[in-house]
Structure 1
Amino acid sequence: MANGKILRQLFKAGTVGDPDAFRRASEAIIEEERQKQHHLLANDLEKILYGGGSIQDNKVKRPLLTYDIPIDKERGLPLLDIRHPSRSLDEIILPESSISMIEELLEEHRRVDILRSFGIKPSGKVIFFGPPGCGKTLAAEVIAFELDKPLAIVRLDVLVSSFLGETAANLRKVFDFIASNNFVVLFDEFDAIGKERNDNSEHGELRRVVNAVLQMMDSYDGLSLILAATNHETILDSAIWRRFDDSIEFPLPDRQILNSLLKLKLRGVRRQFETDDTELLDSLEGKSGSDIERVVRRAVKRMILKGQEFLTIKEIRSALKRENSRNI
């Protein structure tokens, strides 16, 4: 059964006659059923929604919304990717302290009118930090989904220009654009534009970029919620941290989180072992959430291709061995 958040969105869209919102909610239900391994049901729902076409085909044919996205003058490429999120809060596993901070952020933005009646603004700039693969990008999608807003991902590969002064100009375009639209905005790999200015190995252009970032964040008072993510928080300029209203840590999972991740990723998969198996958890220690997802996906594929009815711990161990060889 689809979660309550999606069902409320679906009923609301149907009641007010909003076809775009209805399609977004329907696509989220289809994706949720696929995550549960309910592929036949997901296929049937997809046929009902699109009359036989796939989600990917219809996304190309019928874009949900059109935005005048700013472009980089040097290469003519868009500075942001706009996506419609489909993953909800129950799909992210984090320590209780981190989940609590995300839930507080969501409540602030859902009840923004109450805060403003007391002259208080919700948190508008939040930074995520921690090792790679621990859920920072997923959290941005979840927040966008829960707030029913598009997710705008800043393309740092396009934003950072080889032309002197053009990076700061691109930043200004991005901030002007998100200020006038109501997005959840993700600056991924934020350290690329927020590095410590006292690092003598960096050239003057990067220092100018950091100064520009600081000035734009100080003056920002737009509609969008800004999220930044970094895997290298220790190299961020100290002044950067003061520009954010909150910071949320995304650490490597402990044993309890590993167990919860396995339960989530193996949801709907018939198996011959328990997710709290001591040896299994020992072997996964130090792995990130994305590592776990790859291991499980590889193990399930082997189970299917072998024609097995149940997933065994042997497939998990084999997939884990493959994952460990990737990191050598």
Structure 2
Amino acid sequence: MNYRHVMHGRNAMDLGAMMNGKILRQLIKAGTTGDSAVFRRASEAIIENERQKQHHLLANDLERILYGDHQNVDPGRANKLPTSPVDKERGFPLLDIRQPQRSLEELIVGAASVAAVDDLLEEHRRSDLLRSYGMKEAGKVLLYGPPGCGKTLAAEVIAFELDMPLAIVRLDALVSSFLGQTAANLRQVFEFVAGHSMVVLFDEFDAIGKERDDSSEHGELRRVVNAVLQMMDAYQGKSLILAATNHEQILDSAIWRRFDDTIEFLLPGPAQIVQLLQLKLRGIRRQFELDDADVVGGFKGMSGADIERTIRRAVKHMILRSQEFLTVKDLKSALARESRSNIR
């Protein structure tokens, strides 16, 4: 072994240790004095140091800890979230209200869906201009398509981009076994969101918007659908209402006319699969190209959620076996397991 090479390696290690010691002292000092700017700079230096050592997974985790829960969120905003109304019979909150964390770059869907979301965002950002011409931005939008294709994510992204809280209607609390209570809960939700500026998501909307002519359903559901129609007609509130369904074909035909716009979400095509791989494997060392036809073809026909779960499983396999690189074999093994899970 070359002596000069060994000494160079030791000098680099000593220098690295000195740098780490300096950064750690800065970090601890910033923590004790409450200097957030120094704390952030020291943290970013540690992350960069880990990246230089090819510790990409650790660097990614540290970035999520440093930025993930606080990036672009005004300190204290979480404390300003309104308190959800509750189901009067059981005391359950009717809405899950949170600060959105995911931005537009994470919404990897078809070009038509992205364009529709962009249009919706522009309408709300420039609502004053529309109103000056006697027009209004879309206030009620239906998101539909197969499960796992980005509808719930789109709701969070829209809330994030509009700088609004996201309120997800809890169907388990909304739908009551007590006669008339479901309609009363719906009324509470509509009255509440009308007085606040937020993005409201009715997920699995078909549960309360099912076709009234369905002979298998009892009269209570018909009353609920009628209540939904009346409340949507009367709604003039501050919040943007989104409704998501995987089963648009069973929605009551009258429901569709109550929405100002609809956005369809489809299974990802080859271009979106490559984008998903780029996003979810960012910082992961691998032995294949992301646009390799064999790799992309393995994910054909899968939803975005299924693809993300499969990638996560493959990366876990790589980590637990102390592999330096992710391989096509890892992906195929994860795909096979995902296929077996779907059969069950």
- 1:305 Cα offset (Å): 1.2
Q: CA deviation at 1:39?
A: 2.4
User: 2 CA distance for matches of 1:142 and 1:197?
Assistant: 32
> Which residue is equivalent to 2:111?
96
Query: TM-score, structure 2 length as denominator?
Result: 0.79
The amino acid that maps onto 2:60 is H
Q: Which deviates the most, 257-266 or 184-193?
A: 257-266
2-structure distance, mates of 1:145, 1:111 = 16
Q: Which has the larger radius of gyration?
A: 2
Q: 1:139 aligns with which of 154, 160, 172?
A: 154
Superposed CA deviations along residues 253-298 of structure 1, whole A, max 9, x for unmatched, are 1222212211121112111111222222222111000001001111
Q: Which residue of 1 aligns with 2:62?
A: 40
2:257 matches 1:257: no
- Aligned partner of 1:6 in structure 2 is none
- Mapped partners of 1:215, 1:191: distance in 2: 16
**Conserved in 1, the CA contact under 8 Å of 2:57 and 2:284?**
no
Check whether the contact 2:81–2:165 (CA below 8 A) recurs between aligned residues: no
Output the TM-score relative to the length of structure 1. Answer: 0.83
Q: Paired residue for 1:234, among 233, 246, 249?
A: 249
Say which SS state the counterpart of residue 86 (structure 2) adopts.
coil
Percent identity between matched residues is: 65
In the other structure, the counterpart of 1:160 is 175
SS at match of 2:242: strand
Distance 2:176 2:263 in 1: 29
CA distance in 1, matches of 2:225, 2:270: 38
How far the C-alpha of 1:319 sits from its partner, in A, is 0.8
Q: Which has the larger displacement, 206-215 or 304-313?
A: 304-313
Distance 1:198 1:170 in 2: 23
**In 2, Cα distance between the equivalents of 1:228 and 1:36?**
38
In the other structure, the counterpart of 1:171 is 186
Distance 1:191 1:44 in 2: 39
Displacement after TM superposition at 1:68 (Å): 3.4
Q: Secondary structure at the match of 2:79?
A: coil
Out of 209, 216, 222, which is 2:237 matched to? 222
Structure 2: runs of 5+ lacking an equivalent: 1-35, 49-55
Match of 1:195 in 2: 210
SS in 1 for 2:105: helix
Q: Deviations over 1:68-126 (max 9, x none)?
A: 32110121100000010010000011111110010010001011111111111100000
Change (3 A) 1:90 1:114: same
Give the C-alpha shift of residue 299 in structure 1.
0.7
* Greater Cα offset, 113-122 or 158-167: 113-122
State the AA in 2 paired with 1:295: T
1:149·1:183 contact (CA, 8 Å) conserved in 2? yes
Whether the 8 Å contact between 1:131 and 1:231 is mirrored in structure 2 is yes
Q: Distance in 2 between matches of 1:35 and 1:96?
A: 30
Q: 1:244 aligns with which of 256, 259, 266?
A: 259
Q: Which residue number corresponds to residue 281 of structure 1? A: 296
Check whether the contact 1:125–1:245 (CA below 8 A) recurs between aligned residues.
yes
Residue correspondence of structure 1 range 295-314 to structure 2 within 5 A: 295-314=310-329
Equivalences for residues 29-68 of structure 1 within 5 A: 38-43=60-65, 63-68=78-83
CA contact (8 A) 2:95 2:168 kept: yes
**Deviations 1:120-158, CA, capped at 9 Å, x for gaps:** 110000000001000000000000000000000000111
